[in-house]
Chain A
């Protein structure tokens, strides 16, 4: 454990010195994410400006929802996004060999080797949106709610990572995962606009159990507003554990079947 922490710390130091060489590259993700975030915010305001509430959630709760989604996305962007998205290319080109032959966990290295602090300001924007939502909702937050919310954000960040990893691991078995990624983008785009509580029937099953993007910002919002039941909490935690196991097993299985660039 101690070795892994030292290793991650060294990776982050190396990465920081690397990206400071290319200043625009350092701030690039910030500007790109901010523009994406603003577009989503405008779209959200335009849609919900015509709607009073959605399944009992009013404007304040929806703001917390969109702020939470953005917060989890930003955490992912800062820590592991750029590393994980490079997995398919590494598999196709055979670069993964370099990771497998080193005496460290290859997934650990891939996850933390492309940390990007350029998205940190987005964390602040997201927090402001959440704060605005809390004020608009006139909520009185207790310590339990805030701590529960932070724990749930942590769990959902892991789930977000699991989904990202799981889809990219298909690159071990197929030539291109571009179309799978398009599905991921479409599903995320939808789940960023609609809180999970609004899904029903088969859609609820799909967006809670198969592509669980529907719960990523919904559960933390429910914890913060104190509307999440114990059953919901257990269900959310179980889904995170199940998807983490599936993602790690799929990665391990993929690595075992990997035959360098010829695979």
Chain B
């Protein structure tokens, strides 16, 4: 465990190299907030609620989901892995005395820990500066459930992207697929629009998939909606995490022998 903590710490420190990028990202969040405000103020004209959400709830949802979406950087794992497996530099992860899956999850945790703090601070700052009427939950239990779900969601996405990275060993070129995956992931996690806007039948089906619980449900919990889904959400997401932990281990063991160290 100590080794993984050290890896996380090293990557957290490495993020300081890109501090200006992190700062600019935080500033650019203003543009996103303003644009979300503009979009929904136009769409809410003459309406009290859309899909059970009032204007203030909708803006708060966008602010929180945008923050969570920015935190989730695990797509880098699959991109990095596919690049390294193809050019033969993946060997460096195979020779160190840690599990590769654990290494990449720890790396992700370190990166997230750095951007989570700064992102949280700037999000609160923008709420305050722009006097955005923030709708937030007061129930501590639901708040803790939401936080646990965010952590599990980030873990799941890291495991999922690690799995896709391993598939490079079988399919050799997966970068096109990864870009398509990014497009769909943004939608099914609720980062593009709240999933409450979709037909009920579709969202009912999505509740069995983990993506529903990565951005959408935690954001809804934080604005005091869908509270009855919190426990079930934690359970479904935990099951998916366990499934991918096992699947990743088995897939890696099965395909790693295809890697000859000289690239594909």
Q: Which residues of A does B touch, CB under 8 Å?
A: 24-25, 27-28, 31-32, 35-36, 39, 42-43, 46-47, 49-51, 54-55, 178-179, 182-183, 186-187, 189-190, 193-194, 198-199, 203
7 A-B Cβ contacts within 8 A?
Answer: A35-B179, A35-B184, A39-B187, A50-B51, A179-B28, A187-B35, A194-B42
Contacting residues, chain A, for B35 (C-beta < 8 A): 186-187, 189-190
Q: Which residues of B does A touch, CB under 8 Å?
A: 21, 24, 28, 31-32, 35, 38-39, 42-43, 47, 50-51, 173, 175-176, 179-180, 183-184, 186-187, 192-193, 197-199
B183 touches A35 (CB 8 A): yes
Contacting residues, chain A, for B51 (C-beta < 8 A): 50
Considering the complex of A and B, which 8 residue pairs feature the smallest CB-CB distances, nearest first? A46-B197, A28-B176, A35-B183, A35-B180, A190-B35, A39-B187, A198-B42, A50-B50
- Give Cα A31–Cα B31 distance, bound, in whole angstroms: 29
- Give Cα A245–Cα B21 distance, bound, in whole angstroms: 32
| Chain A-chain B contacts (Cβ-Cβ < 8 Å), number | 70
Taking A47-B43, A49-B197 as contacts, is the C-beta distance between A24 and B38 under 8 angstroms? Answer: no
Give the interface SS of chain A, mostly helix, strand, loop or mixed.
helix
**Least CB distance, B5 to chain A, in whole angstroms:** 31
Residue in contact with A47 in the complex, picked from B31, B175, B183, B193, CB distance below 8 Å: B193
- Give Cα A183–Cα B29 distance, bound, in whole angstroms: 10
Contacting residues, chain A, for B38 (C-beta < 8 A): 190, 194, 199, 203
Residue in contact with B43 in the complex, picked from A31, A42, A54, A203, CB distance below 8 Å: A54
Q: In the complex, what residue of chain A is closest to B198 when comparing beta carbons?
A: A46
Q: In the complex, what residue of chain A is closest to B179 when comparing beta carbons?
A: A32
A39 touches B43 (CB 8 A): no
A24 touches B180 (CB 8 A): no
**Least CB distance, B36 to chain A, in whole angstroms:** 9
B184 touches A183 (CB 8 A): no
Contacting residues, chain A, for B173 (C-beta < 8 A): 24
**Least CB distance, B186 to chain A, in whole angstroms:** 7
Taking A24-B173, A50-B50, A194-B42 as contacts, is the C-beta distance between A42 and B187 under 8 angstroms? Answer: yes
B50 touches A183 (CB 8 A): no
Contacting residues, chain A, for B31 (C-beta < 8 A): 183, 186-187
Contacting residues, chain B, for A50 (C-beta < 8 A): 50-51, 197
Contacting residues, chain A, for B180 (C-beta < 8 A): 31-32, 35
B28 touches A186 (CB 8 A): yes
- Give Cα A24–Cα B177 distance, bound, in whole angstroms: 10
A31 touches B28 (CB 8 A): no
Residue in contact with A46 in the complex, picked from B21, B47, B186, B193, CB distance below 8 Å: B193
- Give Cα A25–Cα B50 distance, bound, in whole angstroms: 41
**Least CB distance, B127 to chain A, in whole angstroms:** 19
- Give Cα A121–Cα B197 distance, bound, in whole angstroms: 29
**Least CB distance, A238 to chain B, in whole angstroms:** 25
**Least CB distance, A227 to chain B, in whole angstroms:** 18
A194 touches B176 (CB 8 A): no
- Give Cα A198–Cα B183 distance, bound, in whole angstroms: 27
Contacting residues, chain B, for A39 (C-beta < 8 A): 183-184, 186-187, 192
**Least CB distance, B32 to chain A, in whole angstroms:** 6
**Least CB distance, B46 to chain A, in whole angstroms:** 10
Given contact pairs A31-B176, A43-B187, a sample of 11 additional A-B residue pairs in the complex whose CB atoms are under 8 Å apart: A24-B173, A35-B179, A43-B192, A43-B193, A46-B193, A51-B47, A54-B42, A179-B28, A187-B35, A190-B35, A199-B38
Contacting residues, chain B, for A51 (C-beta < 8 A): 43, 47, 50
**Least CB distance, A92 to chain B, in whole angstroms:** 16
Contacting residues, chain A, for B198 (C-beta < 8 A): 42, 46
Residue in contact with B183 in the complex, picked from A27, A32, A46, CB distance below 8 Å: A32
Residue in contact with A194 in the complex, picked from B39, B187, B193, CB distance below 8 Å: B39
- Give Cα A39–Cα B184 distance, bound, in whole angstroms: 7
Contacting residues, chain A, for B184 (C-beta < 8 A): 35, 39
- Give Cα A39–Cα B175 distance, bound, in whole angstroms: 19
Most buried by A among B24, B28, B47, B183: B183
**Least CB distance, B184 to chain A, in whole angstroms:** 6
